[in-house]
Structure formats: C-alpha cells, structure tokens
Amino acid sequence: IEHPSECMIKGRQIAVTHARARSTTAAPIYQSRCRNETRTHHGCACLHLKHCSDWFRRPHERTRMCGILCLVGRDGGQGEGLGLSPTVRAEMLECLRRRGPDHQSVHEVATPSGATLEMHGSLLQLRGSAPSRSPLLDPATGSLLCFNGEVFGGLPVCPGANDAQALFCALTQATSSPMEVLSRVQGPWALVYWHAPSGTLWFGRDATGRRSLLCSLAMDEAESAGSGEQPSLRLEFKTSLSFQQQPGAPFILCSLDTDPGSEGAPPLHELPPGLYSLPLGRPHPASAHQFHPQRHPWPWVAPLRPSHLIPEGPQGPTARPSPEALRRADERVLCALRAAVAARCQLPECARPGHLKTAAPSTQAPLMVLFSGGVDSTLLAALAHQALPPCMPIDLVSVCFDAGRSPDRLSALDALRELRAWAPRRRWRLVRIDCGLADVDAHAPRLLRLLSPAATVMDLNIGAALWLAARGAGRACLGDGEAQGGGLVEGQGAQAGDEAGIEGVAVEEAGGQEYTSAARVVLMGHGADELCGGYDTPHFPTGRHRTKFREGGWEGLNAEMALDMQRLWLRNLGRDDRLVADHGREARHPFLDEGVVAAVLDSPLACVTDLRLPSGQGDKRVLRAALCALGLPRAAARPKRAIQFGTRICRLNNIRQFGGTRKANMANAGSVLLSDLACLPPVESAAAGRGVEQHGLLSDQLACCPVHRLFPG
C-alpha cells in the first residue's frame, strides 16, 4: 500500500490482529477486533481499498453525546427542582451546553419507588446535519440512555449508524444484565441507563475511565474520593457504595462539577471505573434520602503483563531480548497503534462550519493533535497522516508560556520541520498558542470548575495549559515551500536545540495570522508514559520509573507501571476530558485503545522499555523504535517533558506563588491544595521583565472565587 490513508475501513471496524495476541488477560478483547471485512498480512491490518472514496463521501448521521446530567430526587423534591437551586441547575446546564453545543434535551420519569428521575443530555455533532435525540428513548419500554463515548469494537455497528443507538438497541434487547453488553464494548464511554422494565438505574465508566462522570457521595466516601490516592484506590474495589443525601437533596450524576462559588452547590467526586446499579423499582427500605448502588466488577479490569514476559534478573534471557524479539514487539505495537489512530481519524466532516476566523472551508482540518514535538505527539501526528487523505490539513497545537521559547515550542518547531521533510505533500499547520499567567487568571473560575474535584497546584498547571491548548486559538504557521509541496530536508536549517534556526521557520503566506482550529476531534498522548515506562527525567536521576527500576528491578518497574494504568482515571482522564470537552471538542486517546494495550502487554517488558539505557533511549523504547521505523529519528531521540514543565507554566507559577522553583520544590508545590494556595501570603517576584505578569496573584483570583466551597480546607 503506497499511502496508508487509502487503507480505510469499510464500516466501523479496524482489524488489530497478531499471532502473539494470546497470552494476556486482554487477548480476547485484542483478538475480537478482527472482522470479516479485513484481512491480515504479516500481522498488519490491510483494509479494503475500493471503499475509501465512497466512505468519505457518504452522508453519515453520527453524533456524540458529550454531556450527561442525571438527578434522582425523593419525597416531593421535584417541586423544588429536585433539590437543586435554580442557579446551580442553570450552571450545570450551561456547562453541558458547552460540552455538547449542537443539541440539548431532558426527560423526566416518575419511578415506582416514588423517586423522580431527571435525565439531561447534550450532543456534539460530528457528522451530518440532523441531530438524534438525547437522551435516547425506547417508546416500547420507556427505557432511557445518556451515552458519552465511542464504540470502536466489540459491538456490531452498521456503517453510518449511531454508536449510542446501536448500544441502546443492544441494551434493550439483552436478556441478561447490561454488564454482558457493556463489558464487550471497546472504546471510551460513560453512561446513565434507565432500564424501565426492572426499575433499575445503571451508570458507570469504561474500565480505564476515559470519559468523565462525577457523582454525589456520602460524607465518609467523600474523604476517600479526594486528593489522596490510596483511599480512592480502595474505593475502586468496593462492591457497594452508600450515597447519603441531605433531606431534599438529589442523587447526582454529572459530566462535570458546578461552580465552587454557587450557594448550595453539592460536592461531586470522580466515579471509579466500573458499572453500578441503583434499584428504583420499589420503595427503598432505608431512609427516604439514602441510596445504595451496587458495584458490578468488570471481567477484565487491571491490565497485567504475564509473569513470563517480566525478566527475572538483569542477565536473564528475557532481560536481553534478541534482535528478532525486539523486531516482533516493535511491529506488533506499531501495527496496533496504526489501527487505533486510523479508527479515531474516521471523521472527514468533523470541522465546525463557520468556526474559523481566517481559513476557508477547503483548509479546515478534521482533527487536531496536542503537539509538543515529543515522542508521543509526533508519533500520533505521523500516524494521523497515514490515516487521512493527503488533501486534508492536520492542525498541530503548541502552547507556550515563555514568549515562544519554551522547550516544548522549540521541540514542536523542530518536529514540524522533520514532519514536513518526511511528508512534504501534507498541509501541516502549527497553531502557536502563546499565553501568560494573565490568561490563566482571566479564566480561573471556569478552570476551577472544570478541574474539580482535582484540587492541587499541579492539576491547575496541567489543566490551564491543556485547556488553552484545546481551545485551538493562536497563530497559524504553515510554511512557504512546504505548503506548495516543497519541504525541508533533514540537515537543512535547524537541528533539535538550535534555537535561532528553529525560530526562523517560515510562517504562512499571510504572515501567521490569527487562527482558530475548527476540528472537533483532539488526538492526545494519554497512556503512553504509563503503558511504556515513560516517567523518566532527563536532567535528574530521580525519574519515578527509573527509581522503581533501580530499587525493585524489573518486578518493581512492572508493578509501578500497572499501578499507573489503574489510577489513570483518577489522576488524568476525567479531569482532562472535562477540559477538552469544554471547547466542544472530543478527546481521543489512541495509546489507551484496547488493542494497543493488549499488544504492549503481550510484549516482553525489556522490549517495551529498558531503563538500563540513558534517558531518551531506553524509556518508551518501543515507541521510539516506531518513530525510527517511520523515518523520524530526531523526534525518536527527544527526552520526556511533562506539559507543565515543557510549556514553562510551572516555572512561572512557582516564581509568582512561591518565590522561585527551589522554594517551590522545598514546599512540594505540585501537591499543595488550591484551597491552601489561596491562603498563601503574596510573594515579591524577582521575575519582572521575564514574562511573569505582576498585575495580581492567582491567589487573588482564588480568594475572589470561594474555592473553599469546592476544596474544604
């Protein structure tokens, strides 16, 4: 196949098959992605070519439900808006509207228990012009579904059909528990499902927790779902949860939290991944204001690597894999990742009409990549190029808090040059988003609401950078010769780290004018570090994965990586889904695709990551090998930088809030609660003239926004 973009799918399924996908607990999920529409060749997916052009012209009617709000009230609470104040209700609905700007609706049910069920849904339209109903209603039974997610496999979905409708049909026709249906679904999802015949409310998140869903908890459970990790992990394995409400207050399930400054705003907390049921078919035997959902464990929960793939010692045979073993692992992972990216790029009509400020419709990009120029984002950009037709632009979004000189911006510029040389016919558009702390201050109340229940300074640093990047508003950089099909060859111009040369990259003919991406899909690198051993620090010997490897060997490293995967829902995924969806865009995580996870776990650990090698070589070895195989060696050698460090937002906040990075490190600034930050005394900054705004402290913003309501001190 000369151009992998011709290798598109007939319908919805992508084959991710490999002969070695047999020994892990995820192997059935991995293998089930093979469909009759595909055939395999040397372990890689080769898809029907003749359907490609027809597929891109087909008028799909496809939507994504991106906002969920479910209220359950008792004892006449419905007369008072189910116990919610009008202000809180209006704020919740406005937040849902931003997540799903194309359609909003509500359905109310009087349950046999005497409780009133109110389900709100909002839709993000990705294809077609006729939005479907939200929530979905089965007129024959009265069942309802609010679904926010994607079905990439495990459930038959006809070409052009709606994921949520296909799932709803499967749920309403199921003769057993919804668990049987939902455990087969491959892809990210959160849902609330009212099964009217049994009077049961089902709700939950996929096993990884890729879509946000918050719930109101009892006070004793609220402490477990706060910032501390171990209590929250204990909560994940409970089989029954007690949701104790104040009299008149509803039980709430929602995609995001309320404004912390709102009077009467209820505390909401991350719902651990899994499926829960709440019986409402008959009067509850307990008090009128208490609910007892039951947690149903997944058949496949924790991603675990078979023990025979973990080296027993530094000199064992599995610790020194042969070149053939390395090659097989590299091909297996790259094949699975290529299929995962292709499945997430099937959205030719996903740009928003009229959203661009300066670009004509013919230049609209169907998706954007959060782009630092590092291993993960460059690999996603390259595979997106292979999945999309050559005529489609790709938006690469780079955020910077250091006047265009941050490490991530310089890496992004160099990676842009390398991508242009590698694929000169592709229209690569770098969207340069230059921000300062003033931008964070201006949006502080909104950011706090989206972050909640995440509560630390590190959450704010990461969240602010991510939210500003996902907004996609900056200056476009296309290049002169590249846009015409020219391109820069390797060795011409700047190499990595040559700041003066990199900053001389030509801008678009119009002079790098203001530009806002119209893409509704955002490719993100979540899961790459956790899955492939990427938490390594190039400038310090204390990278977390390297430390675990040094202290506990291969077993210690494997255990830490497994723990990282299990707590992704709590640390990153729910928070970041709320931040991206606030702009009416959908976050997609190819590295967390079930096929990719299975391919990595089916590979020897020493083939995936080898921390005996220096930083920039051994960490995420299998992903670096994929970039080299594609022909992008400069990006393959780039060291790991977290977004808060690579963009320089952490440095600026440390100076402003703590007086400098050293003092911030001494105070363990990343784990400081935002509620405590609001009480810190002002710090005289020595950074005047270095990009740190002196107009006011973020603590002033936090003080104006009653953050103590959200994060009790």
Is the distance from CB of 202 to CB of 178 less than 8 angstroms?
A: yes
Residue 303 is assigned to a structural domain of this protein: no
**Whether 597 and 547 share a structural domain:** yes
| Average pLDDT of the segment spanning 651-665 | 92
pLDDT surpasses 90 at 515 = yes
**Whether 659 and 607 share a structural domain:** no
Predicted pLDDT of residue 362: 56
Helix/strand/coil for 165: helix
Question: Residues near 260 by Cβ (< 8 Å), separated by ≥ 6?
Answer: 445, 448, 449, 452, 705, 706, 707, 709, 710, 711
pLDDT surpasses 60 at 175 = yes
Name the burial class of residue 25, with classes exposed (0-12), middle (13-18) and buried (19+) by CB atoms within 10 angstroms of its CB: middle
Residue 540 is assigned to a structural domain of this protein: yes
Name the burial class of residue 128, with classes exposed (0-12), middle (13-18) and buried (19+) by CB atoms within 10 angstroms of its CB: middle
Residue 36 is assigned to a structural domain of this protein: no
Predicted pLDDT of residue 330: 98
From CA 567, how far away is CA 272, in angstroms rounded? Answer: 9
Predicted pLDDT of residue 347: 59
pLDDT surpasses 60 at 226 = no
Q: How confident is the model at residue 410 (pLDDT cuts 50, 70, 90)?
A: very high
**Whether 653 and 639 share a structural domain:** no
Predicted pLDDT of residue 237: 37
Predicted pLDDT of residue 163: 86
Predicted pLDDT of residue 277: 94
Work out how many domains the chain is built from and give that number: 3
| Average pLDDT of the segment spanning 238-263 | 68
**Whether 598 and 635 share a structural domain:** yes
Helix/strand/coil for 522: strand
Predicted pLDDT of residue 407: 97
Q: State the amino acid at position 182 in one-letter form.
A: L
**Whether 219 and 252 share a structural domain:** yes
Predicted pLDDT of residue 23: 33
Residue 47 is assigned to a structural domain of this protein: no
Q: State the amino acid at position 658 in one-letter form.
A: F
Among 232-246, 342-356, 390-404, 548-562, which stretch is predicted with the lowest mean pLDDT?
A: 232-246
Question: What mean pLDDT is reported for the chain?
Answer: 77
Residue 310 is assigned to a structural domain of this protein: no
**Whether 503 and 638 share a structural domain:** yes
Q: Which residue has the higher pLDDT, 217 or 512?
A: 512
The DSSP bridge pattern shows strands 394-400 and 367-370 to be parallel
Which two tokens mark 573? 């995924």
| Average pLDDT of the segment spanning 602-608 | 96
Helix/strand/coil for 531: helix
How is 312-352 classified by DSSP, letter by letter? Answer: SSTTSGGGS--HHHHHHHHHHHHHHHHHHHHHTT--TT-SP
Q: Which residue has the higher pLDDT, 81 or 544?
A: 544
From CA 33, how far away is CA 311, in angstroms rounded? Answer: 29
Predicted pLDDT of residue 694: 41
Predicted pLDDT of residue 452: 92
Q: Which helix (H) or strand (E) holds 68?
A: strand 63-73
Q: Which residue has the higher pLDDT, 573 or 304?
A: 573
**Whether 586 and 659 share a structural domain:** no
Predicted pLDDT of residue 13: 33
Which two tokens mark 435? 């921000």
From CA 708, how far away is CA 287, in angstroms rounded? Answer: 30
Query: Which residues are 71's β-sheet partners?
Result: 118, 252
Question: Which of the 8 DSSP states describes residue 397?
Answer: E
From CA 85, how far away is CA 703, in angstroms rounded? Answer: 23
CB atoms within 10 A of CB 198: 15
Is the distance from CB of 341 to CB of 367 less than 8 angstroms?
A: no
Residue 307 is assigned to a structural domain of this protein: no
Residue 11 is assigned to a structural domain of this protein: no
Q: How confident is the model at residue 132 (pLDDT cuts 50, 70, 90)?
A: low
Q: How confident is the model at residue 24 (pLDDT cuts 50, 70, 90)?
A: very low
Helix/strand/coil for 157: coil
From CA 623, how far away is CA 103, in angstroms rounded? Answer: 39
Examine the fold and report which residue of 245, 265, 296 is the final residue of a domain before the chain moves on: 296
Is the distance from CB of 624 to CB of 558 less than 8 angstroms?
A: no
Is the distance from CB of 611 to CB of 46 less than 8 angstroms?
A: no
pLDDT surpasses 60 at 196 = yes
Among 7-11, 540-544, 609-613, 696-700, which stretch is predicted with the lowest mean pLDDT?
A: 7-11
From CA 558, how far away is CA 579, in angstroms rounded? Answer: 30
**Whether 110 and 236 share a structural domain:** yes
Note the pLDDT tens digit of each residue in 368-378.
999 999 999 99
**Alpha-helix runs per DSSP H in 193-350:** 219-224, 229-236, 323-343
pLDDT surpasses 70 at 604 = yes
Examine the fold and report which residue of 296, 330, 363 is the final residue of a domain before the chain moves on: 296
428 φ, ψ (degrees, to nearest 5) = -85, 125
Q: Which helix (H) or strand (E) holds 431?
A: strand 428-434
273 φ, ψ (degrees, to nearest 5) = -55, 145
Is the distance from CB of 168 to CB of 145 less than 8 angstroms?
A: yes
**What CATH number does the domain containing 555 carry?**
3.40.50.620
Q: How confident is the model at residue 128 (pLDDT cuts 50, 70, 90)?
A: very low
Number of H helices, E strands in the chain: 27, 23
Predicted pLDDT of residue 405: 95
Note the pLDDT tens digit of each residue in 32-89.
333 333 323 333 333 332 333 332 233 334 556 678 999 998 654 444 567 777 888 8
From CA 22, how far away is CA 24, in angstroms rounded? Answer: 6
From CA 622, how far away is CA 641, in angstroms rounded? Answer: 18
Examine the fold and report which residue of 628, 643, 658 is the final residue of a domain before the chain moves on: 643
Residue 33 is assigned to a structural domain of this protein: no
Which two tokens mark 322? 């042969």
Q: State the amino acid at position 63 in one-letter form.
A: T
**In Å, how far from its chain's centre is CA 433?**
20
Query: Which residues are 195's β-sheet partners?
Result: 200
Question: Residues near 533 by Cβ (< 8 Å), separated by ≥ 6?
Answer: 545, 557, 561, 608, 609, 611, 619, 620, 621
Q: Which residue has the higher pLDDT, 329 or 307?
A: 329
**Whether 277 and 322 share a structural domain:** no
Predicted pLDDT of residue 581: 93
Please choose, from the candidates 180, 136, 172, the residue with its C-alpha nearest in 3D space to the C-alpha of residue 154. Answer: 180
Predicted pLDDT of residue 682: 53
Predicted pLDDT of residue 193: 98
Q: How confident is the model at residue 513 (pLDDT cuts 50, 70, 90)?
A: confident
Predicted pLDDT of residue 80: 56
Torsion of CA 330, 334, 337, 338, to 10 degrees: -170
**Whether 110 and 230 share a structural domain:** yes
Among 36-50, 134-148, 532-546, 602-616, which stretch is predicted with the lowest mean pLDDT?
A: 36-50
From CA 274, how far away is CA 73, in angstroms rounded? Answer: 23
Gyration radius (Cα) of the chain, Å: 25
Beta strands in 505-562 (DSSP E): 514-516, 521-523
From CA 713, how far away is CA 159, in angstroms rounded? Answer: 52
Q: What is the pTM assigned to this prediction?
A: 0.83
pLDDT surpasses 90 at 288 = no
**What CATH number does the domain containing 181 carry?**
3.60.20.10
**Whether 663 and 636 share a structural domain:** no
**Whether 692 and 586 share a structural domain:** no
CB atoms within 10 A of CB 285: 7
Output the CA angle 456-457-463, nearest 5 degrees: 90
| Average pLDDT of the segment spanning 283-300 | 68
**Peptide bond preceding 453 in cis form (omega within 30 of 0):** yes
**In Å, how far from its chain's centre is CA 69?**
20
Q: What is the extent of the structural domain holding 654?
A: 648-709
Note the pLDDT tens digit of each residue in 456-510.
999 999 999 999 999 999 999 875 433 333 333 333 333 444 444 455 443 333 3
pLDDT surpasses 60 at 120 = yes
Q: Which helix (H) or strand (E) holds 699?
A: helix 698-704
